[in-house]
Chain A
Amino acid sequence: MTTTQLKDPPISKRLAKNIKRNFIERVIEIILMFAALAATFITIGIVYILVTEASGFFKEVSIIEFLTSRQWSPLFEDAHYGILPLISGTLTTSFVALSIAIPIGTVAAIYLSEFASHKTRESVKPVLELLVGVPTVVFGYFALLFVTPLLQKINPDLPTFNMLGPGIVMGVMIIPYIASVAEDAMRAVPMNMREGSYAMGATKFQTAIRVVTPAATSGIIAAYILGISRAVGETMVVAIAAGQQPTFTFNPLEGAATITAYIVQVAMGDLPHGSLGYQSIFAAGMVLFVITFVFNILGHMARKRFAERY
């Protein structure tokens, strides 16, 4: 009875349905592929924009002057185009930040991964993740109106805009990030390695330092590298609190502009499109992009190597 009712449609009709279905599937796949390609287009777009705008800049300014001159004053009458002062500012603030964030972040990661009770870890970890998400402009407020006044009480000669205050705040800002990534790496070390160490009579501290940390090295290095990349690219904290005067100095007690602070400073003003000052922010941006790109790739490689081992 039922078989007669459910009689199949003629074969041509079924094939037509199949063709239509396959066609739709194909179209959807192509649409999805273009979405994935968009990510590549962003990178291409970044490189394209930076290169075209900066090439206008380098038509006027020789690369040798750009890389060796110790003065950066593109907006003044007596214009100089040496990127070194901006780089020295970037390096100094990053150095201050990392000399705080790396030791504290590492100790915190080791403690959380190897010593802390399950309960402590489960409550501290989300807090770290929450802190990673706090907007950086807020940290700029802390640097300018909390940490620098505090430092001025210790050293009254410290100028309002200096690199030490923002450096310290940036360090505190990066601690949760480094701690979180490094802790993930240590957690990923297989349990039986720890058990082996304990079985030999090693203490927790010995196991953490001689077994877990060496095993997680590349993961921990990845955390450091990503931390460096964040410090170098950090904008608002230094733009607010480190000053806007490009100075070739490595003394954190002085104020100096970083690459990012310079870009912000120019963008806040109203430079005409196509002027040399306008193009100079793309040249500065290109240097920043190259530096962070190298660190990101290194970090990615370290992370991948770590992931492959376990």
Chain B
Amino acid sequence: MEQNKVDAEHSLIKPQTLEEVRTMIRTHKRNDFIFSSIGLLTITFALLTLLILFVDLVMDGYPKLNYQFFTDFPSRRAANAGILSAWVGSSLIMLVTFITAVPMGVAAGVYLEEYAPKNWFTDIVEINVTNLAGVPSIIYGLLALGLFVYTFHLGQTIVTAGLTLGLLMLPIVIVSTREAIRSIPVAIREAAYAVGATKWQVVLHHVIQYSFGGILTGIIIGMARALGETAPIITVGALTFIAFLPPAPVTSVAPFISFEWLQSGFTVLPIQMFSWLSRPEHAFHINAAAAGAVIIMLTLVMNGTAIWLRYRIRKNIKW
């Protein structure tokens, strides 16, 4: 009786004979093979799609990608139009963004990792930073429109756009600074304290120095993102047709530096591309493709540098 019951239970387990076991192993091995083929195909498919899209873009824009394209202002005639005001605008805005976001982001990251006490307040700041990184960029645009343009009356200018992108970039810098600092062993800090360094000395001479590569990675990735952002810049009121350059930051008369350019109207590369793209004529679409190729190249080079830098840091880590 008892034996029968055990047998009955055993018969529920599928492979009974050696032949069945072999079949089962074969099936499972086949499943393994099928899935790994599907996986490889999926990844190849996804990467290939993106590659085709990029190649298509570069091919479309190729006839326009010459020296003139970079030195011409936008024009009503597609053949004469270029991206001079766009790349100058982008560079100046990146400068403002860099100056605002980097010191603030690094300082915030250092505070949260090295100084902040573990309490509810720090938790709130932390959740905040994570959440900010996920807020759609157009919301930053609305913030900037309400705050910088109409509350602080900064106008629809380079300084407004730079500050907006600075806010957008801030969480990225904070997160990467924190990650870089976290990887430094406590022993380094203890050694510095042991010879009488103050907290700030430890931070300045050791923590920031050793995490510099990681922080730099975050800064480059953030700058690349700011460079490609379109939506928030549209909401703060970028112009789509600009046939002048902002006043030069360096002048020939004393004091040789002018800040008038901060108050200038502007356009940036992605906006220029967007405005060409919204026109019905095919000739402007070619310009858009050429501008897109320039944007892709710039962001790929920046992100590539950042990834390579991080890879090198990981490889050369000393502790």
Contacts and interface: CB of A to CB of B under 8 A. Distances in A.
B50 interface: yes
A263 B134 CA distance: 18
A135 B221 CA distance: 12
A39 B170 contact: yes
B42 A104 contact: yes
B244 interface: no
Contacts of A40: 124-125, 128
A156 B132 CA distance: 42
Contacts of A141: 57, 273, 277, 288-289, 292
Contact of A232 (B132, B136, B170): B136
16 contacts: A33-B115, A38-B170, A49-B143, A50-B139, A110-B35, A110-B39, A126-B307, A134-B228, A141-B288, A142-B57, A203-B28, A204-B36, A236-B270, A285-B138, A300-B130, A300-B131
Interface of B: 28-29, 31-32, 35-36, 38-40, 42-43, 45-47, 49-50, 53, 56-57, 60, 103-105, 107-108, 110-112, 115-116, 124-125, 127-132, 134-143, 145-147, 150, 167, 170-171, 174, 198-200, 221, 224-225, 227-231, 234-235, 237, 240, 270, 273-274, 277-278, 285, 288-289, 292, 295-296, 299-300, 302-304, 307, 311
Interface stretch (A188-196, A211-219, A291-299): A291-299
B135 A46 contact: yes
Q: Secondary structure of the B side of the interface?
A: helix
B91 to A, nearest CB: 16
Nearest to B174: A39
Nearest to A266: B235
A7 interface: no
B228 A137 contact: yes
A136 B230 contact: yes
A257 interface: no
B28 to A, nearest CB: 5
Interface in A87-121: 104, 107-108, 110-112, 115-116
B292 A137 contact: yes
Contacts, number: 260
Contacts of B292: 137-138, 141
B198 A115 contact: no
Contact of A39 (B40, B47, B132, B145): B132
A62 B135 CA distance: 27
Contacts of A16: none
A36 B111 contact: yes
A111 B142 contact: no
Contact of A135 (B105, B146, B228): B228
Contact of A134 (B107, B131, B221, B299): B299
A25 B136 contact: no
Contacts of B111: 29, 32-33, 35-36
A206 interface: yes
Given A32-B107, A204-B36, A127 B29 contact: no
A288 B224 CA distance: 25
Tell which of A107, A131, A267, A296 has the most Cβ of chain B within 10 Å.
A267
Interface string A262-273: 011001100001
Given A236-B274, A282-B146, A43 B39 contact: no
Contacts of A37: 125
A42 interface: yes
Nearest to B107: A35
Nearest to B303: A133
Contacts of B39: 107-108, 110-112, 115-116
Contacts of A175: 46
A270 to B, nearest CB: 8
Contacts of B28: 203, 205-206
A240 B40 contact: no
A117 to B, nearest CB: 11
A289 B132 CA distance: 11
Contacts of B112: 36
A28 interface: yes
B146 A49 contact: yes
A172 B50 CA distance: 8
Nearest to B227: A135
Tell which of A35, A226, A268, A295 has the most Cβ of chain B within 10 Å.
A35
Contacts of B103: 35
A133 B273 contact: no
A36 B107 contact: yes
Contact of A140 (B49, B167, B200, B277): B277
A97 to B, nearest CB: 14
Nearest to A100: B46
A108 B134 contact: no
Given A21-B198, A32-B115, A42 B143 contact: yes
Interface string A212-237: 00000000000000100110111110
A54 to B, nearest CB: 10
A188 B170 CA distance: 27
B31 A203 contact: yes
A247 interface: no
Interface in A158-206: 172, 175-176, 179, 203-206
B143 A138 contact: no
Nearest to B308: A126
B183 to A, nearest CB: 16
Contacts of A281: 142, 235
Interface string A21-65: 100110011011101111110110110011011000000000000
A39 B295 contact: no
